[in-house]
Amino acid sequence: MQVTMTVNGESVTREVEGRMLLVHFLRDELGLTGTHWGCDTSNCGTCVTWMDGEPVKSCTVLAAMAGGREVRTVEGLEKDGVLDPVQEGFMRCHGLQCGFCTPGMMLTARALLDRNPHPTEQEIREAISGQICRCTGYTTIVRSILWAAEHPDGPTPAAAEPETAGSAS
Amino acid sequence: MTALDKSVQEAAVEHEDLEHADNDKTPLGHGRMLRKEDPRFIRGMGRYVDDLQLNGMLHLAILRSPVAHANIVSIDVSAAQAHPKVKAVITGADLAAQGLAWMPTLSNDVQAVLATDRVRFQGQEVAFVVAEDRYSARDALELIDVEYDVLPPVVDVRKALAPDAEVIRTDLEGKKDNHCFDWETGDKDATEAVFAKADVVVKQDIVYPRVHPAPMETCGCVADYERVSGQLTLWTTSQAPHAHRTVYALVSGLPEHKIRVIAPDIGGGFGNKVPIYPGYVCAIVASLVIGKPVKWMEDRTENLVSTGFARDYVMQGEIAATKEGKILAIRTHVLADHGAFNGTAAPIKYPAGFFGVFTGSYDLEAAYCSMTAVYTNKAPGGVAYACSFRITEAVYLVERIVDCLAYELEMDPVELRKKNFIQPDQFPYTTKTGWVYDSGDYERAMDVALEMAGYDDLRREQEEKRAKGELMGIGVAFFTEAVGAGPRKDMDILGLGMADGSELRVHPTGKAVLRVSCMSQGQGHETTFAQIVAEEIGIPVADIQVVNGDTDQTPFGLGTYGSRSTPVSGAAAALVARKVRDKAQIIASGMLEVSVADLEWQKGSFQVKGDPGRSVTIQDIAMRAHGAGDLPEGIEGGLEAQICYNPSNLTYPFGAYICVVDIDPGTAEVKVRRFVAVDDCGTRINPMIIEGQVHGGLTDGIGMALMEMISFDEDGNCIAGSLMDYLIPTALETPHWETGHTVTPSPHHPIGAKGVGESATVGSPPAIVNAVVDALKPYGIRHADMPLTPSRVWDAMQGHPTPPI
């Protein structure tokens, strides 16, 4: 069947099997491999993307169900070369280690901050409780999201460089 | 200010800093520094195995046994072969015809790649399909018809050696029972004598259930065999690419120089990605047969039911002490469940890993352990989940039984531990089981933890709550780990010595590439290892690229597990940098026209002693080393070096952990309210990364202590085959971690670092269980086994705590 959807602002059309999962559509058909697959049962949340502004677990959404919808993935968080404050927060507060759960965590965080710009720690924990991180123990993820809440416009110019040990000195 | 005050203050300052971690202001070495890896991960640009797409790539799926124990009567693959998108269907018989049906495990046992005659655990590999896409491959599995003649399964480890138990390993010639191995350590007679004279002897059966590392990324690979060149490239989820390459050469018969193993970004390992799984071999065979790249990615159920589990020790602990609380001896017998094949990944002379450190952090007169390992109809494995080669089990045993002793003596668990700690002036300390602890200051770490936790106040609060019928528990645990395997005279895996290579090249413009043999699965090696080199050679961290995970690009080494990266590869990185610096000094002496002895190293440059105006930077030297003009006599051009580091001893990190829990008396739900972790991993390279490692391990501890267990029904069905059944902590079960540290450098490690990757996984389960048991003291409970789920805690509160297996 033919399916058309908007992914990160661009319209895409593909011929797919009716049973194809959104996560496989994004990864295998569009090459957007930032969305990960981890469990099949909606428990781990590494596959979280947005559909019409709401986080969904793309391992339990058919690509066909996303037809006519707006899908946003981790690749759509950075805008015109400017990182989303959530991305900045995760980098600055060591909110990730292996990076596998990170895209889903960040998309959930962005959705939370969009509807609740000043969440408490407990609200953050509840928001990400449908997702699993095996590396960080969550404290630094909570910190990362709090950082993003405190810096809705991103880092102050003075703190913008250098970002990581990998940037030019 | 006392030393203790200072330690507490340092710990507090560190906590403050972490709230707003940012780059260290002196990026020339050790210190808090954001990670080089993160810019790609936060953009979704990590490159994991399943992200790889190659032209013409096919997909492989594995048919697994639905039963735990059965003879295979027949397999009919004709319908699967007729599927229009299927390229190949391979069974055990097909592999056997090529001599590929069995492969060696890392413990010198063998394991079936695909079952030939018999299946020995539920989930065992029976056949595989290669198809054009992943959905079709799975479809075709449904078309394979296997007839099984079901046999009685051996599920209960305690009955594995019963005379009427079905023999599992009929593939082993002459095998008449399910015995795997016996092992002992310590002095049996001396221990018996000490027990005979002791005032107090406490016995406790303690079970460490089977658990699973369950990394978020499951295991998988892409095998690409090019027929013309005879080159096999394997992108794979491997924590040990070099060791894997050697095993593949031995199994497949392909020459080792034609095999390239690449571990790209890895989505968590925790030991799960140390073994070689049948799926990898299947993908290699498929690519060899078909001549196209073949991808195999297991699903979550396959990961949980078939890949490397951890623990599964049934322990009988005994502790002997004076009535004043001086611990005299510890004795234990362990029944170890190794599953259907002995797939333990541990140094070959250590079939029980490093369980011998069960004497803990205490100065004993004697100790003895005997162990019997058996085969059962369960998945193979045994050493995984950040266990430090069975130290997790050892520390749990000793820290639990010390608490049982405290219970019987009616003594505070902290006081009891302090009374028995190995003292700082006793290091290096040889334990009664022969381990040489390198350095330690245990009481100091304990004091820092007590201060941070406010221990005395917590005890007062507990007293008040108990008076009101509320259940609050305070658990204390102290651990000593043995990591960094290891001295190659003692330690090898399949004959490969556990030393690590490292190579450093400084380019003409002073930028550098470090190639290391270990492999990151999220630990941040690209950052930490660059910092190690920067500290030694004065090149900014940003100018040092770290290459790992590719056997064609890195020197040989045994990989990342058992917290060995920093103790072994980290030492190699420091020493190779020093070797380059030594050469740089000779070149500098030529440039400055002075003798080598007249130069002194100022991080980043050599300077003539007493004449600060005359110096050359490492970047100047690098250009000279590659440039025109003469070099000092006997010095070759270039500025690079390679070494292989063979550690002289293990390193022994330690820590003091305090856990506070509240238990709902109505539901028996355990809530971890606070957790204070004070770790001493020697020299700290990047405190932010260390902190992250500790946090992750503590969360593992919550999982194991309260939630996680790979359980089986009486037919051998694994009933923890999804993340709905195998529960992993989320942000809601996890407290805000409180961490502190002390620093006691390792005397033999080049930079004094000890490794930290598994410390918290080792130390936190006993702290949490001790806290739960402490909360249940009003019920007269001395011990309850993990996982302490509400139903199991409830059972304990009703007076019948039961073992989980």
Contact between chains at B41 and A96 (C-beta distance less than 8 A): yes
Query: What is the pLDDT, as a whole number, of residue B345?
Result: 87
Is a pLDDT exceeding 50 seen at residue B14? no
Which candidate in B22, B38, B732 is best for mutational testing of the A interface (most A CBs within 10 A)?
A: B38
Instruction: Give A108 to chain B, closest Cα distance, Å.
Output: 13
Q: How far apart are CA B436 and CA B650, in angstroms?
A: 8
**Average pLDDT for B423-435:** 98
pLDDT tens for A30-40 read 999 999 999 98
pLDDT in tens, B787-805: 999 999 999 999 888 899 9
Chain A environment of B724 (Cβ under 8 Å): 41, 43
A85-157 — its CATH code?
Answer: 1.10.150.120
**C-beta separation of B733 from B742 below 8 A:** no
What is the residue whose two structure tokens read 């296997």? B146
pLDDT tier at B2 (50, 70, 90 boundaries)?
A: low
B52 phi and psi angles, rounded to 5 deg? -75, 130
Question: How far apart, in Å, do the first and last CA atoms of chain B sit?
Answer: 51
Half-sphere exposure of B280 (CA within 13 A, CB side): 30
DSSP letters of B618-637?
Answer: HHHHHHHHHSSS--STTPPS
DSSP structure string for B306-354: HS-EEEEEEEEEEEEE-TTS-EEEEEEEEEEE-TTTT---S-TT-TTTT
Residue of A28, A38, A92 with shortest CB distance to B216: A38
- What burial letters (b/e) apply to B202-215, b meaning 16+ CB within 10 Å? bebebbbbbbbbbb
Q: Encode pLDDT of B442-457 as tens digits.
A: 999 999 999 999 999 9
**Token duo for residue B581:** 């610096």
* Range A2-76: architecture per CATH: Roll (3.10)
Chain A touched by B218 (CB under 8 Å): yes
- Residue A161, pLDDT score: 44
Contacts of B216 in chain A (CB under 8 A): 36, 38, 44, 46, 98, 100-101, 132-134
Angstroms from A4 CA to nearest CA on chain B:
21
Q: Six-digit token pair at A87?
A: 């991305």
Residue B200's pLDDT band (boundaries 50, 70, 90)?
very high
Residue B2 to residues B5, B9, B384, B715, B791: CA-CA distances in angstroms? 5, 11, 41, 61, 46
Closest CA to B214 of B706, B726, B702, B765: B726
Each residue's pLDDT tens digit, B116-166: 999 999 999 999 999 999 999 999 999 999 999 999 999 999 999 999 999
> Which member of B33, B134, B723 has the closest CB to residue A43?
B723
Q: Is the pLDDT higher at B445 or at B19?
A: B445
pLDDT attached to residue A158: 54
Confidence of residue A68 (pLDDT cuts 50, 70, 90): very high
The pLDDT value given to residue B383: 83
For residue B563, pLDDT beyond 90? yes
Cα–Cα nearest to B284, from B220, B231, B227, B234: B234
Interatomic CA distance for residues B300 and B282, integer angstroms: 18
- pLDDT of res. B27: 66
Can you give the length of chain A in residues? Answer: 169
Say if strands A48-51 and A70-72 run parallel, antiparallel, or are unpaired. antiparallel
Minimum Cα–Cα distance from B44: chain A residue: A34
Q: Answer whether A100 sits within 8 Å of B217, measured CB to CB.
A: yes
pLDDT, position A157 = 66
Query: What residues of chain A lie within 8 A of the CB of B34, using their CB?
Result: 91-92, 94, 163-165
End-to-end CA distance of chain A: 52
SS3 B49: helix
Given A36, A98, A164, which is nearest B36 (Cβ)?
A: A164
B599-631 burial code (b ≥16 CB/10 A, e <16)? bebeebbbbbeeeeebbbbbbbbbbbbeeeeeb
Which pLDDT tens digit goes with each residue over B235-251?
Answer: 999 999 999 999 999 98
pLDDT at A122 over 80: yes
Q: What is the pLDDT of residues B541-557, one digit of tens each?
A: 999 999 999 999 999 99
Average pLDDT over residues B183-202: 98
pLDDT at B436 over 70: yes
User: What is the pLDDT at residue A49?
Assistant: 98
| CATH 1.10.150.120-classified regions of chain A | 85-157
- pLDDT for B384: 86
Q: CA B678, CA B741: separation in Å to the nearest integer? A: 5
Using the beta-carbon criterion (under 8 Å), do B692 and A94 form an inter-chain contact?
A: yes
Q: Please, is B465 exposed, middle or buried when counting C-beta atoms within 10 Å of its C-beta (0-12, 13-18, 19+)?
A: middle
- Residue B704 CA to residue B725 CA, distance in Å, equals 14
Closest CA to A35 of A63, A68, A75, A69: A75
pLDDT on residue B15: 41
d(CA B354, CA B356): 5
Can you give the three-state secondary structure of B569-585, one letter per residue? HHHHHHHHHHHHHHHHH
Interchain contact, B214 vs A102, CB within 8 Å: no
pLDDT at B629: 86
Q: Convert the pLDDT of each residue in B703-718 to its tens digit.
A: 999 999 999 999 999 9
With left for phi above 0 and alpha for psi between -120 and 50, is residue B562 left, alpha or beta? left
For residue A99, the chain B residue with the least C-alpha distance is B41
**pLDDT for B191 beyond 80:** yes
The verdict on pTM exceeding 0.90 is yes
Find, in chain B, the residue whose alpha carbon is nearest to that of A40.
Answer: B300
Burial of residue A56, with CB atoms counted within 10 A of its CB: 0-12 exposed, 13-18 middle, 19 or more buried = buried
The maximal CA–CA distance of chain A, rounded, in angstroms, is 52
Q: Above pLDDT 70, what percent of chain B?
A: 97
Average pLDDT over residues B464-481: 98
Provide mean pLDDT across the span A63-78: 98
**Cβ burial B335-347 (10 Å sphere, 16+ → b, else e):** bbbbbbbbbbbbb
| pLDDT at residue B11, rounded to an integer | 45
SS3 B474: strand
Inform me whether the pLDDT recorded for B201 exceeds 70. yes
In which residue ranges of chain A is CATH 3.10.20.30 found? 2-76
Closest CA to B92 of B118, B67, B70, B110: B118
φ, ψ (nearest 5 deg) of residue B279: -60, -40
Distance CA B393, CA B383 (A): 10
State how far Cα B595 lies from the chain centre: 47
Residue A159 clears pLDDT 70, i.e. is over it: no
Check whether A90 has a pLDDT greater than 90.
Answer: yes
Residues 674-693 of B with CB under 8 A from A: 688-689, 691-692
Name the least confident of B8-12, B473-477, B683-687: B8-12
- The pLDDT confidence band at residue B414, using thresholds 50, 70 and 90, is very high
Picking from B408, B32, B426, B377, the residue whose alpha carbon sits closest to that of residue B178 is: B377
What's the pLDDT band for A97 if we cut at 50, 70, 90? Answer: very high
Q: How far is B598 from chain A (nearest CA, A)?
A: 31
